[in-house]
Every structure is written in structure tokens, then in C-alpha cells.
Amino acid sequence: MGINYDLQLNIASTVDSTESEGIGDRFAIWTQGCAFKCPGCCNPHLWSNKGGNLLTVRELWSKIQAAKVKYPKIEGITWIGGEPLEQAEGVAEICKLAQKNGLSVMIFTGFLLEDLQKINSPVLPHTDVLVDGLYIESLRTTTRRFIGSTNQKMHFLTNFYSSNDPRWFEPNSAEIIYNSNKQIQVVGFPFDSVLETFGPKKKK
């Protein structure tokens, strides 16, 4: 089947090039909206379905293509949220395009792999690496790269990457980006020091 370029996605933000949201240079996409609302989440501003920017698959794919031209070393895309799989149909279309053009796909989701398999999620056939499981504040860890709490698991669904690739075992990192909208964006692992400075402020 062809690509449905007219499907819309509610996108909170994107970063053209980062090495802190999956291995290698990646185009990162934050979706708007998450029903899980995990306590301790570092992105509570993405819980609401309101806000964000409505982009068609065509528009978002054009942004990815432009980034790839600007940053030729980009090797994949990463979906973060919010909860990307609340918009599974649109996400799947972008994933199809990415893989057809030689890019890897990494997705962070609160849904479990086995539950996604039961419902035949349209995203799974077009995902290379899936990090699944809700963020559980009491199980928070900073020792595993890209993993927020110890219950979360990394699944390699294709042969694009090996679980033994040494890049998976490098230290976590965070990047501070001053974007074209004159905004400061923090990308990568939510270290305590990062959350204290840039994260959501807790009510006293």
C-alpha cells in the first residue's frame, strides 16, 4: 500500500540533529499528548492533546528530508513524547518512509511490546528499536543508556542494530540547543542537574 501523506500528526517539537536520543546522529520528534501521565515525567507539558502543531505526514517528512540534506550523517529518526503510539497511524507512515530511505527508526513508548503485538500495531513492522514500558519514578535509573526506569526494556525488532553495538553502552548525555525560534531546548537524558535547571518546577 502507498503512503497516506495527508494524515495529520500533533507534533510538539523536533530537533534536526542530535546524538542524545538514540545512537548515531538522529532526527528527533516529540509528539503532543499522553494519557499515561507518569508521575515524575520530565515532559508533563506534553500530556495534553492541546497545543503542539498539526503537521501532515507530507510536511513532517519534508522536514526530515531537509534535515538529512543539512546533516548528511543522520542515520535515523527517534520518536519521543508525549506518547507517540497514541498517533500510531501517522507515526507508522513516517516510519515506512524512513526505512524506505535507509534510515533507522527508534521509538520510546509506555505501551508494552506484547500488547502492541496483540493489537497488530501498524508501527511495529517499521520499527528497528523499541523502548517500552511506563516510566516508574521509584525505579528511576541513570546507569543504562536511554532507559529512564529499570522496568523499561529495549527490543531490537530488526537487524539494523546489534544489541552488542558498543554505542548502546556509552554514558547518557544531554544537549542544550538554542533553536531557530530563539528558544532553549534540552535534548537527551534528564539528569538531576538538568531537571533542576530546565525541568518542570515542583509546587512547594
Select from 39, 47, 63 the least CA-distant residue to 12. Answer: 47
Query: Residue 203 pLDDT more than 50?
Result: no
The DSSP call for residue 41 is: -
Select from 127, 148, 34, 150 the least CA-distant residue to 87. Answer: 34
Averaged over 117-136, what is the pLDDT?
A: 98
pLDDT confidence band for 80 (50 / 70 / 90): very high
**pLDDT at position 199, please?**
52
pLDDT confidence band for 178 (50 / 70 / 90): low
Query: Residue 117 pLDDT more than 60?
Result: yes
User: pTM of this prediction?
Assistant: 0.88
CA–CA dist 60, 27 (Å, integer): 11
Residue bearing cell 536511554: 146
What are 29's strand-pairing partners? 14, 79
What is the tens place of the pLDDT at every residue in 16-40?
999 989 999 999 999 999 999 999 9
Sketch the domain layout of the chain as residue ranges.
Answer: 8-198
Q: Is 54 exposed, middle or buried (0-12, 13-18, 19+ CB in 10 A)?
A: exposed
**pLDDT at position 179, please?**
57
Residue bearing cell 543539512: 70
- Is the CB of residue 38 less than 8 Å from the CB of residue 89? no
**pLDDT at position 15, please?**
92
Which among 56-60, 145-149, 192-196 has the top mean pLDDT? Answer: 56-60
The per-residue b/e assignment along 163-200, b for 16 or more CB within 10 angstroms, e otherwise, is: eeeeebeeebeeeebeeeeeeebbbbbbbeebeeeebe
Cis peptide before 82 (omega within 30 of 0): yes
Cα(first)–Cα(last) distance of the chain, in Å?
Answer: 53
